């Protein structure tokens, strides 16, 4: 499995506190082992995020990604639920 990050993801990630960066790194490892693991709550998104999926990083933080191929994924955004989805 290959995981890539968009430039905008990298910029958002760099602004996060270290603890949230570490939480993402841990969840990314879990994602690479089993992207459907229950802790990730991996689910499809709708509306302006149609074609993307989301995983939980912490209670309020999410990371969104697109599946490029069955074993290649591009993470495009990371932030709070409100920041990403406006709710």
Confidence (pLDDT) at 59: 87
Distance from C-alpha of 38 to C-alpha of 77, rounded to nearest angstrom: 21
pLDDT at res. 87: 65
- Provide the strand spans (E) within 1-87: 2-5, 43-44, 53-56, 61-69, 72-80
Task: Compute how many other C-beta atoms are within 10 angstroms of the C-beta atom of residue 9.
Answer: 20
pTM of the model: 0.92
Closest to 65 measured CA to CA, from 39, 34, 28: 28
Q: What is the CATH number of the domain that holds 35?
A: 3.30.2310.20
Domains held by the chain: number: 1
The domain in which residue 10 lies consists of 2-85
Quick: pLDDT tens for 24-65: 999 999 999 999 999 999 999 999 999 999 999 998 999 999
CB atoms within 10 A of CB 25: 12
Q: Supply 7's token pair.
A: 């430039």
Q: Coil, strand, or helix at residue 36?
A: coil
């Amino acid at each position: 499995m290959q995981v890539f990050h968009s430039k905008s993801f990298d910029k958002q990630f760099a602004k996060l506190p270290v603890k949230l960066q570490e939480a993402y790194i841990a969840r990314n490892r879990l994602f690479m082992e089993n992207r459907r693991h229950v802790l990730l709550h991996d689910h499809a998104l709708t509306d302006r995020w149609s074609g993307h999926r989301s995983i939980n990083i912490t209670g309020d933080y999410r990371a969104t990604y697109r599946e490029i191929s069955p074993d290649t994924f591009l993470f495009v955004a990371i932030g709070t639920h409100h920041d990403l989805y406006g709710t």
